[in-house]
Amino acid sequence: MTLVLDNGAYTIKLGLAESEPQVYYNCIGRIKKEVIVAPRSINGVNEVMRPHERGVLVDPGLQSKIFKKVLKGYVCSDLDLVISCPVYTPFTCRKQLDEIVFEEYEFKSEIRVPSGYQSTGIIVDLGFSASTVMPYLDGFPINSAITRVNVGGKLLTNYLKEQISFRQYDMRDETWLVNLVKEKLCSVSSNFMNELKMLQKNKSLERHYVLPEFGDDGHELQPEESKEGKQVLTMGNLSIAVPEVLFRPSDIGLTDAGIGEAIWMAMQAVPSVYWEDLTNILLVGGSANFPNIENRFKDELRAISNDGLTFNFIKPENPSFWNWKSLSKVSEVRKGVTKEEYFEMGSEYIDWKFQYS
């Protein structure tokens, strides 16, 4: 049997290959005085410590502690493992991850890959701390063309938190709530400047959030609902300005390229004879859930590429779980490195076998 572990910077998605994955937050936090490892909900959790920084595993010791909690109940020595490990993870951390897999948990075999499986096309993973553009040809990633932008869901949540705290309520300690508001109320605009003007002219287009009372999560204010006696957060232009940062990081003073430009940069790193093959682009990862994101990407690429290419942006039904699902398919097409091979040849062999950049 194969256990599939999508080890995201924000959440771990874990489950046997044929089943549905369980989700755990990839962190250690604190609720009042109690320390919580890999919580199932982050409502009220603060002082969060994560093993990843900027999307890269940097603290394998902390990661091992979190694995101990999530792997409870599995007999690891009877299982093959497919685990994700982001591109650009330093070799020492990859090595420590392999040590955890084989020496601490004694899995039978390991497939360690940066992301899921795509035959030909581009995967754009819009994750928590970064967004990664990965071109694939015939099932293999083109490592030299992989492009990463340090813009992801975490940055968007922090930006929203800062803006709300500056304009309305002090929510600097309410990360989980601001994150929830972002996920429920933000959407990608088709034409940012036009929609900004419309929002300024027509206040009825603004979206509002009723802040939590009595331990609930709060909810979006409905058109017929009265604001009386409720603490209401007005999003104003933030409902479109926050996801806009994915396309224009310079709006908030960052020097990173927008993700549309990053896709075009990744394509240019591949010989132009393959461009036609790379026009099928899959949008995955939690931040791909923003409504209308696929249409906006299509317009962006049409404007940037000017090469008569027609792009086809596909958003799977559940972008957050796509990576886990594709990892579970990897085990059908590739064979893992066994424990014996690892002890004989080490992490270098795993890197070689799975063509790590």
Binding interface with ligand ATP (CB under 6 A): 8-11, 55, 125, 127-130, 152-154, 157, 179, 183, 285-287, 289-290, 320
Q: Which residues pair with 133 in a beta bridge?
A: 124, 147
CB nearer to ligand ATP: pick between 320 and 331:
320
Three-state DSSP class for 284?
strand
Q: Least separation, in Å, of the C-beta of 147 and ligand ATP?
A: 15
Q: Least separation, in Å, of the C-beta of 329 and ligand ATP?
A: 17
Q: How far apart are CA 111 and CA 76, in angstroms?
A: 14
Q: Least separation, in Å, of the C-beta of 50 and ligand ATP?
A: 10
CB nearer to ligand ATP: pick between 8 and 218:
8
- Residue 56: closest CA among 21, 26, 14, 22: 26
Q: How far apart are CA 77 and CA 107, in angstroms?
A: 5
Q: Least separation, in Å, of the C-beta of 106 and ligand ATP?
A: 26
Task: Report the chain's terminal Cα–Cα distance, integer Å.
Answer: 28
Q: Least separation, in Å, of the C-beta of 294 and ligand ATP?
A: 13
Q: How far apart are CA 247 and CA 292, in angstroms?
A: 13
Q: How far apart are CA 217 and CA 232, in angstroms?
A: 13
CB nearer to ligand ATP: pick between 200 and 357:
357
CB nearer to ligand ATP: pick between 10 and 354:
10
CB nearer to ligand ATP: pick between 192 and 290:
290
Q: Least separation, in Å, of the C-beta of 246 and ligand ATP?
A: 10
CB nearer to ligand ATP: pick between 130 and 337:
130
Q: How far apart are CA 220 and CA 199, in angstroms?
A: 17
CB neighbour burial string for 114-143, b if at least 16 within 10 angstroms, e if fewer: bbbbbeebbbbbbbbbbbbbbbbbeeebbe
Q: Least separation, in Å, of the C-beta of 17 and ligand ATP?
A: 18
Token pair listed for 155? 């940055």
- What's 153's DSSP letter? H
Residues 325 and 309: beta-carbon distance below 8 Å: no
CB nearer to ligand ATP: pick between 108 and 315:
315
CB nearer to ligand ATP: pick between 130 and 134:
130
Q: Least separation, in Å, of the C-beta of 113 and ligand ATP?
A: 13
Three-state DSSP class for 183?
helix
Phi and psi at 140, nearest 5°, equal -120, 135
